Copies of this chain bind each other. A is one copy, B any other.
Amino acid sequence: MGKDRISSGIPGLNRLLDGGYIRSRSMLIVGGPGTGKSILTWHFLFNGLMNDENAVLLSLDQPLDLILSDMANFGWDPREAVENKSFSILSGTLNLVPNEIGFEYMISFDHPVLREQPFTIPRLAELIRKKASEIDATRIVVDGLGPLLELAGNRFEIRQMVYSFIRELARDKRSLLLTHELRTGINAGNDEMPYFIADGVIKLDMLYSAGDYVRTMRVIKIRGTSHIMRPIMFKISDNGIEAFPDARLPE
């Protein structure tokens, strides 16, 4: 019995993945700043929309207009899909607001209905799942776990809630892509995100060679299947990500 595969929207990556992401599972995309994590998720989202798979995108890194403008750079325009309810974008920022007994977390959503509600992490998971149900989405992207983990700091309870958040989202058996920005620098504490939280992990990287940087991606893990382990090169152009599974990496 083979796995049911779902296209990443990037042919070269599909080959690396032996056909695509595994349907109904979670995949964590990690990489330093500027390695192309968001663009990788957009390929996944628009591939879905083109194949009548509805999608939900949550971004706590940037406001809706910037997301739209950045997608447009690569020729993607989600506005029609949003209007006919095949695509739902939840964007906003997490803020710390003082109250009587200390502080309270607020998510300021760009969405007109949701604006300025006091949100907790469990309610965020609930919101995403509700949105996904409403539009019958099979693909979910959470772009940027960073702001949620920043909230955690060293607070054990909140970190646990982020893990619960991921587990909650994984429960409905929708295909789930999560991105997490690795810090650069030799002492960056990247261990705050254990990889066992997801069913698979892809790492995006930059390789310095002869005065320039080459972009690479590598499948670190996919549960329960064999996969190609070597890093492959990719480029980001006006068409988004193009991966080259056959090209030789510079030494």
Interface residues of chain A, those whose CB is within 8 Å of chain B, are 1-3, 25, 32-34, 38-39, 61-62, 66, 69-74, 93, 95-96, 103, 144, 146-147, 150-151, 153-157, 159-161, 163-164, 167, 181, 183-191, 194-196, 199, 201, 206, 211-213, 215, 219-226, 229-231, 236-238, 248-249
Contact = CB atoms under 8 A, between A and B. Distances in A.
Contact of A194 (B150, B156, B230, B238): B150
Contacts of A150: 160, 163, 194
24 contacts: A1-B69, A1-B73, A3-B69, A33-B221, A34-B195, A38-B223, A39-B224, A71-B224, A74-B224, A93-B167, A95-B164, A95-B167, A96-B160, A103-B160, A150-B163, A151-B160, A153-B159, A183-B195, A186-B187, A187-B187, A187-B188, A187-B190, A188-B190, A226-B237
A1 to B, nearest CB: 5
Nearest to A24: B66
A155 B211 CA distance: 40
B213 A230 contact: yes
B195 A181 contact: yes
Given A34-B195, A70-B223, A70-B224, 7 more contacts: A33-B195, A33-B220, A96-B161, A154-B156, A185-B190, A186-B186, A211-B231
4 interchain residue pairs of minimum CB distance: A70-B224, A34-B221, A33-B195, A212-B230
A3 B230 CA distance: 35
A187 B184 contact: no
Given A153-B156, A196-B61, A211-B248, A25 B185 contact: no
A66 B199 contact: yes
A73 to B, nearest CB: 5
A66 B26 CA distance: 11
Contact of A181 (B154, B160, B196): B196
A66 B248 contact: no
B222 A194 contact: no
A184 B185 CA distance: 11
A242 to B, nearest CB: 11
Given A150-B194, A189-B191, A66 B237 contact: no
Contact of A156 (B155, B195, B196, B221): B155
Contacts of A1: 69, 72-73
